[in-house]
């Protein structure tokens, strides 16, 4: 292994917390389970499931090239995998990592992301309380969407933050809940009142079918 690809260091809870306080440092939480992330995570962490295409997408979409990165990993053996994926897309300032278990044992998961399962989601009520943010692709949105929803494809959302209100609750959904998890966690780091609407959007499919559009 070359020097450039040396795995990032394992940090203890005290050092991780100190590094996280530095300006320009961002945290990627690589847990696969969004429900676990929503229930508790390190403040200002972005959910970025490691063993999926969403890990690199989260970094590429929501981080800046100048950012230093801290990782929360389910397994310390994944540090090399995470570093390699980040290096491939131009992120080489990886400060270090801690495991999920270590963070939990040391009481570091003090933030939470509000979560609503789609079957319990009332879209009519949501547009009164705030905004429905649909983070699917433009084509998916055009094929069928919840009434009153606004389209912000998840890979391009960072460039349009000024179009989102900070004085209203943002109900973030996609087709399955996975992309919504990434976006809602990112919006939380930017000071928005975000809610992760999780689950398969059957209503989007029904709307598309009613319009005679292949979903």
pLDDT tens figures, 91-125: 999 999 999 999 999 999 999 999 999 889 999 99
SS3 assignment, position 62: helix
- Residue 174 pLDDT greater than 90, yes or no: yes
Whole-number pLDDT of residue 122? 93
Chain centroid offset of residue 107 CA: 21
What is the rounded CA–CA span in Å between residue 201 and residue 13?
38
Q: What is the pLDDT of residue 211?
A: 53
Average pLDDT, the chain: 92
* pLDDT for 24: 93
User: How far apart are the C-alpha atoms of 122 and 125, rounded to whole Å?
Assistant: 5
pLDDT given at position 171: 98
- As a whole number, mean pLDDT of residues 133-154 equals 94
Res. 57: pLDDT tops 70? yes
| Residue appearing with tokens 């390699």 | 84
Mean of pLDDT values over 38-61: 96
User: Is the Cβ–Cβ distance between 10 and 80 less than 8 Å?
Assistant: no
Sheet strand arrangement including 45-47: 45-47, 25-29, 68-73, 94-99
- Residue 214: the pLDDT is 43
Distances (CA, A) of 170 to 43, 186, 210: 19, 12, 27
Section 141-161 average pLDDT: 95
**What pLDDT does residue 201 have?**
84
pLDDT at 215 over 90: no
Within 8 A by CB and 6+ apart from 189, the residues are 26, 44, 45, 46
Residue 5 has pLDDT above 80, yes or no: no
User: Which contacts (CB < 8 Å, 24+ apart) does range 122-129 have?
Assistant: 123/147, 123/148, 123/149, 123/203, 124/148, 126/169, 126/171, 129/168, 129/169, 129/171
Same fold, 3-105 and 114-210: yes
Q: Where are the domains of the chain?
A: 3-105, 114-210
Residue 209 binned pLDDT confidence (cut-offs 50, 70, 90): low
Architecture of domain 114-210 in CATH?
Answer: 3-Layer(aba) Sandwich (3.40)
> Is the model's pLDDT at 1 over the cut of 50?
no
Q: Are 50 and 69 in contact (CB under 8 A)?
A: no
Q: What is the CATH number of domain 3-105?
A: 3.40.250.10
Rounded percentage of the chain residues whose pLDDT exceeds 90: 86
């Amino acid at each position: 292994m070359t020097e450039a690809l040396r795995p990032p260091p394992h940090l203890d809870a005290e050092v991780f917390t100190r590094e996280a306080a530095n300006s320009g440092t961002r945290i990627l939480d690589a847990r696969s389970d969004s429900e676990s992330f929503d229930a508790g995570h390190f403040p200002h962490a972005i959910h970025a499931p490691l063993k999926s295409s969403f890990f690199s997408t989260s970094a590429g979409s929501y981080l800046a090239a100048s950012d230093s990165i801290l990782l929360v990993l389910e397994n310390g053996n994944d540090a090399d995998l995470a570093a390699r994926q980040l290096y491939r897309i131009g992120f080489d300032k990886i400060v270090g990592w801690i495991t999920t278990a270590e963070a939990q044992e040391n009481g570091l998961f003090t933030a939470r992301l509000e979560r609503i399962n789609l079957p319990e989601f009332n879209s009519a009520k949501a547009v009164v309380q705030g905004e429905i943010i649909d983070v699917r692709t433009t084509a998916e949105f055009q094929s069928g969407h919840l009434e009153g929803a606004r389209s912000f494809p998840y890979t391009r959302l960072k460039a349009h933050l000024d179009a989102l209100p900070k004085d209203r609750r943002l109900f973030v959904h996609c087709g399955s809940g996975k992309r919504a998890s990434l976006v809602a966690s990112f919006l939380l780091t930017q000071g928005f009142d975000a809610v992760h609407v999780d689950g398969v959007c059957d209503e989007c499919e029904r709307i598309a079918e009613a319009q005679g559009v292949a979903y």
